[in-house]
Structure formats: structure tokens, C-alpha cells
């Protein structure tokens, strides 16, 4: 009876349902996409496909952590606000004013970023594609620029999603993401079947953009109805409260980018598109494992921010212990099932599929890191949603070590060298250091005289 009631509570939580649907859908659709690519795209086109995919993720570098900070700040203000039945933001006036300022900053920032992305990443991606003289990459420049354009347009919609997350409207946000992902993949697969090749990636991006736009229209109208503050007041607020946290998150974001997004472009440069395609396909599965494991921690991140605003630190720590255990178990189960699936493909002789990925042994070593990372990721959610960023030094040091070792080892050992470098920088250095930071952070918070005792 108790288990049935627990399941009922989970199903009644729309945020959990839609997030689970979205993350599970991403895993399922991504898996189907990987195998369809192996059937309908040549090894060379697969390499360009995943190289494009990795280059597009440079938008996280251009973003410099703004979206994360925006959600954090909105969650702290919206702890004292609510949406009325008539569709108006109501609550304490000082919190409402700060919320309005955050909305205005978010909209302006992402319009600027969209322009910067198109110019900077578009040009940088062209240089990467032309960096290997042994590969004829000129035919791929046009699709690259079209993809850059659709991605830059999608960035204009990003502030609405981050604001919705901070408002604890995660169910709506995740529903929109799921619909965009599903529609994009379905249209992409159809175009792939009819021989679109690399343009299937552009089809995905375009359809996803259109569906997302339709999904955020209602919330965009709600936010647009709010009268923005004067430009001078907005600038003052951004400099005083927002910028300090943003540059800290930015450094951590850049360092994380160095660890996760160098795999494919670096292999493209030193080993060509075929090797890059194998690593790209494997990295897609690795990212799916991370996303699936991060599901509950990311869903509860705004809640951690709201608990922090009310100084309920013991409650946050108890929540971290619970969520990290669930995340670790979920990631472990997923890794086991994936490796069993690849072993089965290898056993029954499906070499055409197996050959599109890295070696099974190295795949297992790589995927184990996704399991180990679940605890630290949950801890970092808890700390960062207190509008703090104490991970700067640890992130920079571990990522720089990983990036340097990747560059050295990839030339000689290809993807094996990259995985070794990732283990050294991420597991041996970064994760242990991050855990110490988490413990020290909340130990200090609990020793503050005005923190509220949890009534759990």
C-alpha cells in the first residue's frame, strides 16, 4: 500500500512525469538516431555529423553560465511570488521588482548571444572543418552555416525556459522540450531515410526551433506583459547582484566545456572524420547516461534554491543524500543495460553497428565515469542554487589538466588517450576536490547563527 501511494505521488507530480518522459525520450531517440546514422550515413558523413554536433555545443561557451545563474536568481525571488488565476505575477513588491529585472536582463542577454554565436562560432567552426588538409570539407561549409543560423535563432528562446525553470514550472518546460525533441527526431529520420545526409541534422534543428517557439508563446506573453525597469536601474542591478555570480559560473562552464567538448573536434583534427564519428557516437551515449542520472537532481535544483532562501540547510543536505543515491543507481542500471546490449550485438555479429563506436573495453571504462559523477553533480546543484560558486579553482585546474593531457595523448593514442586524460582530470582530481568543497560549504552554513533548523 505504501509503495502504491509513493508511486501515486510521483505520477501526480507533473514535473517528474514530464522530465522522466523527456529524459527517457532523449535516451530512446538518441539511441535510435545513433543506429540509424550507422545505416544511412557513411562513416565519413557520420564523422561530420558528430563534429557539427560538438561544435554547436559551443553555445554553452558563449552563454558563459548565464542561464544557470538566471534560474538560480529567479528561484530565490519566486519563492515569495506566484502566478494568479488571471495570469499575473503577484507577491511582495521588492521580490517582484527583482524578478522583473531578471526577466529583462535575460531577454536582452540572449538576443546579444544569438548574434555573437552566429558570427563567432560560425567562423570558428569553419576553421575547424578546414583544419585537416587530408579531408575535403568544403562541401560541408554551407550546411554548417545553415545549422549555425537555426541554432542562433533557438538561443533567443532560451531565457524563457530558464525563467520557467526558476519559477518551478519545470513540468511545462520539460513538456515543451519533449515535444520539440520528438518532432525534430521524427522529421530528421524521415529526411535521413530519403538521403538528406548531413542536412538531416539541420532538419532536426529547424523543427525543434518551430515547436519550441509554439510552446513558449503563452509564457512569453505573460513575461512580456510585465513592465521592465529603466535601463539605468537594470544595469545597476546586473552589476551589483548578477555579474558576480555570473563570471564565477562562466569560468566553471568554460572549464567544463574543455573537459567534455574537446573529444570530437580534437579527434577530427588528429585522426580524421571516421575516428571522430566513432568517438562522437560513443559520447552521445555517455551524455545520455549523464542526463538520465541527473534527472531528479536537476528537477529538485530550484527547490534547493528555495530552501536555501529560507535557510533550511539541513533539509538540503538530506535531499542531496537521497537524490545522489537514486541518481547513482539509475546511471548504474543504464550503463549495465547499454554494455549488455553492445555485448549482444558483438556476440551475434552485428559488426556494421559495432564498428561505428569505440572499442567495447574502452567504452566500459568511459561509461563508468558517468556513474561516479552522479554524487558530485547532485552536490554541485545544491551549492550553486545558493547563489554561490566555490568550484572555480577546482574546475579550472581539473579541466586544464584534462585538456592538456587530451591534446598530448590523442596524437599518439587516439581516443584511448582522451579517455585516460578524462579519467585523470575528472575522477582523480576534480571529483574528490569537489566533494571536499561541498562538505566545507554546508558545514559553514550550518554554523551560521541564523540558519533555520529543519523540522523533518
Q: What is the pLDDT of residues 108-150, one digit of tens each?
A: 888 998 999 999 989 989 998 888 788 888 899 999 999 999 9
Closest CA to 204 of 181, 179, 227: 181
Residue 24 predicted with pLDDT over 80: no
Q: Over the range 100-111, which residues count as b (16 or more CB within 10 Å of their CB) and which as e?
A: bbbbbbbbebbe
For the stretch 322-361, what's the b/e string if a residue is b when 16 or more beta carbons lie within 10 angstroms of its beta carbon?
ebbeebbebbbebbeebeeebeebeeeeeeeeeebbbeee
Percent of the chain with pLDDT over 90: 26
pLDDT of residue 241: 64
Q: Is the pLDDT of residue 37 over 50?
A: yes
Task: Say how far apart CA 400 and CA 261 lie, in whole Å.
Answer: 13
User: Rounded mean pLDDT of the chain?
Assistant: 82
Q: How confident is the model at residue 298 (pLDDT cuts 50, 70, 90)?
A: confident
Rounded to 5, what percent of the chain is helix, strand, coil? Answer: 85, 0, 15
Which range has the worst mean pLDDT, 37-41, 85-89, 224-228?
A: 224-228
Alpha helices in 41-121 (DSSP H): 43-56, 59-63, 66-78, 93-116
Residue 84: its H or E element: none
Lowest pLDDT segment from 85-94, 153-162, 167-176: 85-94
12 has a pLDDT exceeding 60: no
Q: Is the pLDDT assigned to residue 13 strictly greater than 50?
A: yes
Which whole-number Å values give the CA distances from 124 to 25, 26, 316, in the listed order?
32, 28, 42
Taking 70 as the threshold, does the pLDDT of residue 274 lie above it? yes
Q: What's the pLDDT score for residue 115?
A: 93
156: its cell numbers:
533567443
| Dihedral sign of CA atoms 147, 152, 155, 156 in order | negative
From the CB of residue 83, how many other CB atoms can be counted at a distance below 10 Å? Answer: 15
The pLDDT assigned to 258 comes to 64
Dihedral of CA atoms 298, 300, 301, 307 in degrees, nearest 10, equals: -170
Split at pLDDT 50, 70, 90, the class of 8 is very low
Question: Which residues are CB-contacts of 291 (< 8 A; sequence separation ≥ 6)?
Answer: 23, 26, 27
Is the model's pLDDT at 213 over the cut of 80? yes
Residue extents of the structural domains in the chain:
14-446
Q: Which residues pair with 82 in a beta bridge?
A: 90
pLDDT(233) > 50? yes
* pLDDT value of position 417: 92
Share of the chain above pLDDT 70, in %: 85
Q: What is the pLDDT of residues 311-335, one digit of tens each?
A: 888 888 999 999 999 999 989 998 9
Most confident of 27-36, 59-68, 204-213, 441-450: 204-213
Separation CA 17–CA 371 (nearest Å): 23
Asked whether residue 340 carries a pLDDT value surpassing 90, the answer given is yes
Give whole-number Cα distances, 289 to 8, 15, 248, 356, 381, in Å.
Answer: 26, 20, 27, 19, 17
Q: State the pTM of this model.
A: 0.71
* Polymer length of the chain: 456
Helices (H), 423-431: none
Instruction: Say which residues have a Cβ less than 8 Å from residue 338's Cβ, sequence separation at least 6.
Output: 285, 289, 367
Classify the phi-psi angles of 452: left when phi > 0, otherwise alpha if psi is within -120 to 50, otherwise beta: beta
Partners of 83 in beta bridges: 89
pLDDT reported for residue 353: 83
- DSSP result, 260-308: HSSHHHHHHHHH-HHHHHHHHHHHHHHHHHHHHHTHHHHHTHHHHHHHH
**CA-based end-to-end distance of the chain:** 23
* Lowest mean per-residue pLDDT among 104-108, 120-124, 180-184, 433-437: 104-108
Of the pLDDT bands very low, low, confident and very high (cuts 50, 70, 90), residue 2 is very low
Q: Is the pLDDT of residue 376 over 80?
A: yes
Q: What per-residue confidence (pLDDT) applies to 307?
A: 85
Residue 236: the pLDDT is: 64
Contact 80, 305 (CB under 8 A): no
Residue among 70, 213, 204, 106 at smallest CA distance from 153:
213
pLDDT above 90: residue 253: no
Q: What is the DSSP letter of 88?
A: -
What does the pLDDT read at residue 108?
A: 85
Helix (H, G, I), strand (E, B) or coil at 441: helix
Amino acid at each position: 500500500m505504501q509503495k502504491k501511494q509513493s508511486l501515486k505521488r510521483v505520477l501526480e507530480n507533473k514535473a517528474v512525469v514530464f522530465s522522466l518522459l523527456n529524459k527517457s525520450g532523449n535516451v530512446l531517440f538518441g539511441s535510435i538516431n545513433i543506429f540509424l546514422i550507422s545505416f544511412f550515413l557513411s562513416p565519413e558523413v557520420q564523422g561530420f555529423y558528430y563534429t557539427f554536433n560538438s561544435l554547436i555545443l559551443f553555445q554553452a561557451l558563449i552563454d558563459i553560465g548565464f542561464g544557470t545563474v538566471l534560474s538560480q536568481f529567479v528561484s530565490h525571488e519566486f519563492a515569495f511570488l506566484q502566478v494568479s488565476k488571471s495570469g499575473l505575477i503577484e507577491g511582495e513588491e521588492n521580490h517582484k521588482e527583482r524578478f522583473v529585472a531578471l526577466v529583462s536582463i535575460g531577454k536582452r542577454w540572449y538576443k546579444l548571444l544569438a548574434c555573437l554565436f552566429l558570427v563567432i562560432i560560425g567562423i570558428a567552426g569553419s576553421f575547424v572543418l578546414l583544419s585537416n588538409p587530408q579531408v575535403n570539407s568544403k562541401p560541408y561549409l554551407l550546411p554548417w552555416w545553415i545549422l549555425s543560423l537555426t541554432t542562433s535563432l533557438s538561443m533567443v528562446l532560451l531565457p524563457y525556459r530558464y525563467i520557467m525553470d526558476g519559477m518551478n514550472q519545470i513540468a511545462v518546460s520539460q513538456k515543451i522540450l519533449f515535444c520539440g525533441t520528438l518532432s525534430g527526431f521524427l522529421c530528421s529520420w524521415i529526411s535521413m531515410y530519403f538521403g538528406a545526409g548531413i542536412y538531416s541534422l539541420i532538419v532536426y534543428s529547424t523543427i525543434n526551433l518551430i515547436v519550441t517557439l509554439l510552446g513558449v508563446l503563452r509564457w512569453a506573453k505573460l513575461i512580456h506583459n510585465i513592465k521592465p525597469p529603466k535601463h539605468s536601474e537594470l544595469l545597476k542591478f546586473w552589476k551589483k547582484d548578477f555579474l558576480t555570480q555570473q563570471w564565477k559560473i562562466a569560468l566553471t562552464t568554460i572549464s567544463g566545456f574543455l573537459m567534455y567538448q574537446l573529444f570530437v573536434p580534437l579527434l577530427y583534427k588528429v585522426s580524421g572524420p571516421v575516428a571522430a564519428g566513432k568517438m562522437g557516437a560513443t559520447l552521445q551515449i555517455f551524455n545520455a547516461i549523464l542526463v538520465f542520472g541527473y534527472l531528479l537532481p536537476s528537477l529538485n535544483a530550484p527547490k534547493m534554491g528555495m530552501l536555501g532562501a529560507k535557510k533550511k540547510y539541513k533539509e538540503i543536505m538530506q535531499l542531496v543524500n537521497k537524490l545522489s543515491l537514486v541518481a547513482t543507481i539509475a546511471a548504474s542500471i543504464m550503463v549495465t543495460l547499454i554494455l549488455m546490449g553492445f555485448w549482444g550485438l558483438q556476440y551475434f555479429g552485428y559488426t556494421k553497428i559495432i564498428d561505428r563506436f569505440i572499442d567495447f573495453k574502452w567504452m566500459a571504462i568511459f561509461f563508468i565515469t558517468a556513474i561516479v559523477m552522479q554524487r558530485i553533480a547532485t552536490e554541485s546543484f545544491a551549492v550553486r542554487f545558493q547563489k554561490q560558486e566555490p568550484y572555480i579553482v577546482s574546475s579550472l585546474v581539473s579541466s586544464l589538466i584534462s585538456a592538456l593531457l587530451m591534446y598530448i595523448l590523442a596524437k599518439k593514442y587516439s581516443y584511448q588517450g582522451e579517455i585516460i586524460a578524462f579519467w585523470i582530470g575528472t575522477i582523480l582530481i576534480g571529483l574528490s576536490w569537489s566533494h571536499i568543497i561541498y562538505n566545507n560549504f554546508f558545514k559553514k552554513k550550518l554554523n551560521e547563527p541564523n540558519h533555520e533548523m529543519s523540522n523533518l
